[in-house]
Structure 1
Amino acid sequence: MISLAIEAFAPAMASFRSGRDFAAWLGLVPRQFSSGGKERLGRVSKPGQADIRRLLIIGAMSQVQVVSRKPTPGSWLARMLIRKPKMLVAIALANKMARKIWAMLTKKEDYRENLLAAAA
């Protein structure tokens, strides 16, 4: 579903320099108010492609619900859920997913699960 939406609504992945640029285009990164070397991050900006962003957030929220019911000790998601609200963690996960999608599409690779996570 998400791949069809990306093919239909997103420009070519080569037009983005990095995964962060793609995530920013989707509206999944905090706004920056940085000056003089001091980095200040604001709320998550919401300009960009709302359809793809919504699909990523829905998928991330379902993963957050699963992990919040049955936490996996030591996982990035479980550690984040201890400290942060669920919606904020879902946005961070959607951002991560967008960056992975960009990497897979630019390198023309299939998804490979993290070897360390698979071994545990």
Structure 2
Amino acid sequence: MLEAQLRVVKKQILENDRRVRANARETELGRRLMEIPGVGPLLASAFVATVADAHAFKSGRCLSAWIGLVPKQHSSGGKERLGSISKAGNRQLMARRTAKVAAVALANKTARMVWALMTNGERYREPVIA
């Protein structure tokens, strides 16, 4: 009986995965978001479903803060002092920071890229190394 239930659950999981992938590819925005490294069908469809209008956010930082990916605050007396989020490459970041800090920094960077693509309508371009 448990084996039969496990097969049914696995089948349902596969069907839901198929639907998520199909929904992400269905919209032009979803296809553009999936071009960002680290953004797959699940994340792209989640952004498309939850962020109806990216212009509601003033900047990528506001979207990132709305998600909950913000640096530590050291504000006092009305002066805003925020901790930094590194823009260094993944390998350098992992060498200097713990895995959790690096993961949050990369998620923040990805959220800001998603906001930029959602607001300007462009496609993702690989950064050019000078």
Q: TM-score with structure 2 length normalisation?
A: 0.58
Aligned: 1:29 with 2:70 = yes
Maintained 8 Å contact 2:60/2:111: yes
Structure 1 residues 93-108: aligned runs within 5 Å: 93-108=106-121
Q: Any gaps of 5 or more consecutive residues in structure 2?
A: 1-40
- 1:3 is aligned, of 44, 51, 55, to 44
Partner letter of residue 26 of structure 1? I
Distance in 2 (CA, whole Å) between partners of 1:40 and 1:24 is 12
Maintained 8 Å contact 2:71/2:82: no
- Deviation, 1:84, is 0.6
**Deviation >6 Å, runs of 4+:** none
Aligned with 1:115: secondary structure?
Answer: coil
Percent identical: 39
- Deviation, 1:9, is 1.5
CA gap 1:17/1:10 in 2 versus in 1, 3 angstroms: same
Distance in 1 (CA, whole Å) between partners of 2:98 and 2:121 is 34
Match of 1:39 in 2: 81
- Deviation, 1:4, is 1.2
Distance in 2 (CA, whole Å) between partners of 1:81 and 1:30 is 17
Aligned with 1:93: secondary structure?
Answer: helix
Q: TM-score with structure 1 length normalisation?
A: 0.62
CA gap 1:6/1:38 in 2 versus in 1, 3 angstroms: closer
Cα RMSD after superposing both structures:
2.0
Distance in 2 (CA, whole Å) between partners of 1:91 and 1:27 is 10
Distance in 2 (CA, whole Å) between partners of 1:110 and 1:38 is 33
Q: Going by fraction, where is strand more abundant, 1 or 2?
A: 1
Q: Any gaps of 5 or more consecutive residues in structure 1?
A: 42-74
Aligned with 2:81: secondary structure?
Answer: coil
Paired residues in the alignment total: 84
- 1:82 is aligned, of 77, 82, 95, to 95
Match of 1:19 in 2: 60
Structure 1 residues 57-76: aligned runs within 5 Å: 76=89
- Deviation, 1:33, is 4.1
Aligned with 1:30: secondary structure?
Answer: coil
- Deviation, 1:85, is 0.5
